Structure 1
């Protein structure tokens, strides 16, 4: 008997679990919905971050290995399969082969440009997958928590009416439940909004890099390899080794 008294005294009657038990089915429903929203938010954030970082690493390999190859096919073979840049190159090569089979004359510049444009748009669309969920969670989670808040305040008013007076003991539980639901809604919404803005910003950077690569590839293909990116086409002459002796210091000597 004495062992149960300290346990009851140390229990928090105004904590999360107590608020959920007091709120009943509605409080548990709101809580489960917010948990699902939070889990979806963090899952999407980590998966999109991994996907974006993978494409950034592919961009580094393109700058170091792709443009140094003698042909586009050899350069494509050095890229990772099923990667964004490999997809653009493969689509460009396919469009180049299809252009020779066209019956009606179509300018090669226009044909390749439209094909590379579709490929780039498909990649950008894939990068934006899941961001709508973050935007939805960020905009609706506070209102889901607010619904739990309204129910808690309503229960507090019912207790006040039943008791006939606004005592602390009567309203502390429902008001605490209302505040907890508000806090949970904000805890779920804030990371979703921050993650959405951050991922959208990184997607814009990736879209610019992919668009620049598509433009460089287009120029390379319509010029039969004569036009290359400035990173490859501009080469500095090697610096001659410094000679020792008086002639190196004074050439006229």
Structure 2
């Protein structure tokens, strides 16, 4: 094996081929590698990266709430009343008038009933302590009330029937007197019950009137939702609150009316019982006088 000369071997070694740049190609711009970029924490003299701008539609915590001109600022009962629809306003005004009527009837009827009960109790005490109809008439002379009127009616019936008592007996007198006293009793009870029918009407209809105002107001609130094309609760809540205020006023008018009506119903029932006691006392005095008239030498029915 022949040894080669190192100089010749070095000359015979192939040279690496170098690619020459083409004349027709342009060098591509090199984009910086984001990984190789220095971070602000590493390089102190590096410029900080700009913050990404957030979309215009995204709310930020630092943004102040915008004041809506279409939202009511006064949500008090008076403010909601002034901002309500005219139908809801009419319902509220009507319910307010009904509540005023309720309390007026309560005040007037309470005074009337207290005075009537006191008067009939004094008349009952007089009828129970009197020994004859004439004595009771003298005690109750100049007084008003159903009991005094019963006594005067009994005296009138006895005067008109005195001529026929000896022949027809006292059965017809008692029958006529009973019917007369029953009519006086019914008239007094009916007079005392006057005004309680309005309480019953208010108590039974006021909740439904308030509900009508609520339905009307909520209907307008949904119409406002469709017109404004928004489901924001702050836009529709005032209208719904105004509608619910009508139901609240209806309950405020109805609940006292029902309670006061029940109280007056029990009180008037007791007053009618006192009227019945007074009529019974008058009949008892008349029956006693008729019995004493049958006694020889008695002048109980004279005059």
Give the TM-score normalised by structure 2. 0.65
Match of 1:45 in 2: 106
Aligned residues: 217
Coordinate RMSD, CA, aligned? 2.5
Match of 2:173 in 1: 108
Q: Which structure carries more helix by proportion?
A: 1
- Unaligned 5+ segments in structure 1 are 1-10, 228-253
SS in 2 for 1:82: coil
Distance of aligned partners of 1:73 and 1:29 in 2 relative to their CA distance in 1, 3 Å threshold: farther
The 5 A counterparts of 1:3-42 are 13-42=74-103
Match of 1:151 in 2: 216
Match of 2:158 in 1: 96
Match of 1:141 in 2: 206
Shift in Å, 1:92: 2.1
Asked whether the equivalents of residues 91 and 119 of structure 1 are also in contact (C-alpha less than 8 Å), the reply is no
After superposition, give the CA deviation of every residue in 1:75-122 in whole Å (9 maximum; x if it has no partner): 3353463312212222222222233478xx671110111111111111
Match of 2:51 in 1: none
Shift in Å, 1:151: 1.4
Shift in Å, 1:55: 1.8
Distance of aligned partners of 1:108 and 1:184 in 2 relative to their CA distance in 1, 3 Å threshold: same
Which ranges of 4 or more aligned residues in structure 1 deviate by more than 6 Å? Answer: none
Shift in Å, 1:170: 1.5
Asked whether the equivalents of residues 95 and 115 of structure 1 are also in contact (C-alpha less than 8 Å), the reply is no
- Unaligned 5+ segments in structure 2 are 1-71, 293-303
Question: 1:82 is matched with which residue: 136, 144, 151?
Answer: 144
The 5 A counterparts of 1:204-243 are 204-224=269-289
Distance 2:105 2:77 in 1: 27
Corresponding position: 1:120 with 2:190:
no
Match of 2:253 in 1: 188
